[in-house]
Amino acid sequence: MTPAVNQNNTLPSLSGGLYAFFFDVDGTLAAIQSQPESVSIPASVRQHLQHISNLSHGALALVSGRPIAQLDELVAPLEAPAAGVHGAERRDASGRVHRHSLPGDIAHTLQTELQQTLDQWPDTLLEVKGMAFALHYRNAPQYENAIMQLAEDAVARFPELALQPGKCVVELKPQGIDKGAAVREFMQEAPFIGRIPVFVGDDLTDEKGFLAVNAMQGISVKVGEGASHARFRLNSVEAVWHWLEQLLLQLEHDNVGKEFRL
């Protein structure tokens, strides 16, 4: 990876274009918290997302490591298309849910073994997502190497699994699932098809989303510091919120212009 191309934090104007919007949540639309359940999105930001979705005829999706049920709670009352658990579950614009899952015996064995091990490491957390597992160590960074080794051992034992590192977390998910694949699937369906994709994310888990969008000549935006395949950068979650305000103004202006021409 190389640093994002645009270091001036200046995103191109989206005025006049036909875009599809994809957003990560934690670290992008919401500030990261020590506990996943403590995360929230301000009401004003949720309203902006709702308006942007409306003006884009529904071409707005959430692409996150969280399950879809949690995403719905975070952005309520908006119920947008969503890819949860990095795409292991995906709800398209028609409301149909597509799921990939681990075999039941593997999922049960993993959950039991992972929980038993993490119980021995204070302040670590096992998050069970149904078809994936997240091993959190934000509150216990001294266990980073041990948790990474535990995850690597699990992947070595079960070829059905893939390992996905993140910020103070490592996830075990079904093989072949990632955010880039989720974005590509959305882009083959209405109302996303034929639009220019815009993907905003902050973490290692978003890099495949950036690559997918770059390949489609779209706009990839990295939030925060660090090397990235993204072509543009915003400094913080607060910068994302400000950009959403500006984006909404652009879309509203374009919409008024179209009505005037009609």
Please list the active-site residues. Answer: 24
CA 197/CA 179 separation, integer angstroms: 13
For 43, half-sphere exposure in the C-beta direction (CA atoms, 13 angstrom radius) is 0
Say if CB 89 and CB 98 are below 8 A apart: yes
For 233, half-sphere exposure in the C-beta direction (CA atoms, 13 angstrom radius) is 16
CA 87/CA 67 separation, integer angstroms: 9
CA 250/CA 146 separation, integer angstroms: 48
CA 229/CA 108 separation, integer angstroms: 36
